Structure 1
Amino acid sequence: MSTIRDEWGENSPLGRLWAMVTALAEERGRELSVEFVCAVAAERFGTAGFCLVVTGTTGVAKLRSTGGELGRRIPEIEATVGEGPVGDALDLACPAVVPDLDAAQALRKWPLFAPLAVEAGARACFGFPLVVGVVRVGVLVLLHGTPIAPEPAVLREALLFADLVLAMLLGEQVAAGSTVPGPAEDEFPLASPAVHQATGMVAVQLNTDPDTAFARLRARAFADGRRLSDVAADVVARRMRFVPDPYIG
């Protein structure tokens, strides 16, 4: 990854950040990886959790790395309700900055996601898109347990961390001889393997396509007030079965 320093220069903001995380990894005896950089960013900004989502050519999102219970819970909530910081950051290719998820503005923005996120313990979230031109590579989401309005300098440094993560992801793909960062096209948004398996089972039960089956699975989780992964586990264990709805299909 020395090309990062070569391209931006040792005295550039990104070059200095690269030198800092490199020294920190050496000091802690850790491998210098995308996951390590995300964890350092979360630690530096005092977050209660983080998640890194990467995308493929179809725009399908998959969790690459998480930190803390919130880092695992928040993407699952977004996958269940279909709205949140990952989707917004990817769709708009600009940061999704929400200093207080319990504020009226956040509730208008994400009427389904915001209340559930607050219930899970998140009060602020910041989604930073990893974008190269028109290509959406992913999103780095930092989560806080209290409302927070970071200073511009803090946001600038967070954006630098996002740039560094982006550079490292692209570097991985170049090293692997691939130009497509992210998951395979048949993987489902932010979903665990159990959700993927359950979606296939529901598609068979309803004699429908995977997208419709996934939507029904999400709707059931939301209606029951349960985690998507828990509903999926019931389907896989055959404790739950979906039947065609004459009004839905």
Structure 2
Amino acid sequence: MAERGAATKQIAALIAEDLDEEALARKVCQACVEELDVDGAAISVLPANPSRRTLWATDATALALEDLQFTLNEGVCVEAATSGVPVLVSDLARTSEHSRWPVFAAEVAERTPAKALYALPLHWGALTIGVLDLYRLRAGEFTAVQWQDLLGVAEVAALLLLQLRTRPGSARRATEVPDGEARRGTGPGVAGVDGDGRGNPELHDDGHPDDTEGRDAALSDVLFGRPEIHQAVGMVLVQLGIGPEEALARMRAWAFFEQRMLIDVARDVVERRLVFTEEMR
């Protein structure tokens, strides 16, 4: 058996800790950034389901990439979730990637500084529990050692998530994050996304995120669950008399038509600024 890499060892050590899903996801993402030469990471669960939820994103760029994929229903995370195999895009500027996901690739280039994306399904047997998403600010592939370490991280993280979701009486607790940790997103900024919790925290002139409590709380709300999306799906299915899958598809289509993020459309629905009708196709 090959020796475990540094990131895998960090994750394997978590088996002795009493963590909830968010705390586990935070530690997995941070280990990847520290040991695998990536600039950011995120973990989502139930990625192919309308109930998809981002457990953690290390920074605003990672969060924006998650939101873009959920809004457009395409990209590395979506493909990894549906195919069950890793999806590695070492250079987003390649023409082949633009033809593979034309809208997503264009939006990533416009809204984020990411140049390479990687997604690994977190599965146990035939069950895909979630997806680990990573990005780099430069194009490039993993070394053989890094790749083996990353595979180990995905395997151990999937096992730990499965244990959390199947243990008797398990209940997710509110995650306590030390001051300065990744909940508020201190990584690279996202062009064109504002600081009200829908992506990039507002930046000071020196390029560092604003630390105000209001924006911290807003970004935290988006990171942990996006309940507005699920509430909006329920409202749209009542408005149109359709199922949840189609309601989500209608919301995605409207977000695409309006060139907005899905979370913003959901908030309009919840706050009754937007009512879906049969004519909105």
TM-score by length of structure 1 reads: 0.77
CA distance in 1, matches of 2:64, 2:5: 30
Q: 1:245 corresponds to which letter in structure 2?
A: E
Structure 1 residues 191-230: aligned runs within 5 Å: 192-230=226-264
Query: CA distance change for structure 1 residues 233 and 142 in 2, over 3 Å: closer, same or farther?
Result: same
Match of 1:140 in 2: 132
**RMSD (Å) for aligned C-alpha atoms:** 3.2
Match of 1:111 in 2: 102
1:76 aligns with 2:67: yes
Secondary structure of 1:52's partner?
A: strand
Structure 1 residues 42-61: aligned runs within 5 Å: 42-55=33-46, 61=52
CA distance in 2, matches of 1:17, 1:116: 32
Higher alpha-carbon deviation: 47-56 or 209-218: 47-56
CA apart distance, 1:14: 6.5
* CA deviation map 1:119-161 (0-9, x unaligned): 2212211101112221112110111222222222222211111
Between the two proteins, the alignment pairs up a number of residues equal to: 222
- 8 A contact 1:50–1:70 mirrored in 2: no
Query: CA distance change for structure 1 residues 40 and 130 in 2, over 3 Å: closer, same or farther?
Result: same
- 8 A contact 2:50–2:245 mirrored in 1: no
CA distance in 2, matches of 1:32, 1:18: 17
Structure 1 residues 25-44: aligned runs within 5 Å: 33-44=24-35
CA apart distance, 1:228: 0.9
Corresponding residue to 2:88 among 84, 90, 97: 97
Match of 2:153 in 1: 161
Match of 1:130 in 2: 122
CA apart distance, 1:21: 6.9
List runs of 5+ in structure 1 lacking aligned partners. Answer: 1-7, 179-189
* CA deviation map 1:167-194 (0-9, x unaligned): 211232343368xxxxxxxxxxx97211
Matched residues, percent identical? 29
CA distance in 2, matches of 1:117, 1:61: 20
TM-score by length of structure 2 reads: 0.69
Secondary structure of 1:112's partner?
A: helix
CA distance in 2, matches of 1:124, 1:245: 39
CA distance in 2, matches of 1:191, 1:32: 14
- 8 A contact 2:6–2:149 mirrored in 1: no
1:235 aligns with 2:264: no
Secondary structure of 1:118's partner?
A: helix
Q: 1:167 corresponds to which letter in structure 2?
A: L
CA apart distance, 1:41: 0.9
Q: 2:141 corresponds to which letter in structure 1?
A: A
- 8 A contact 2:5–2:148 mirrored in 1: no
CA distance in 1, matches of 2:117, 2:107: 13
* CA deviation map 1:96-135 (0-9, x unaligned): 0001222111112111211112222122111011122211
CA distance in 2, matches of 1:113, 1:57: 17
Secondary structure of 1:33's partner?
A: helix
List runs of 5+ in structure 2 lacking aligned partners. Answer: 171-223
CA distance in 1, matches of 2:161, 2:263: 27
CA distance in 1, matches of 2:104, 2:48: 26
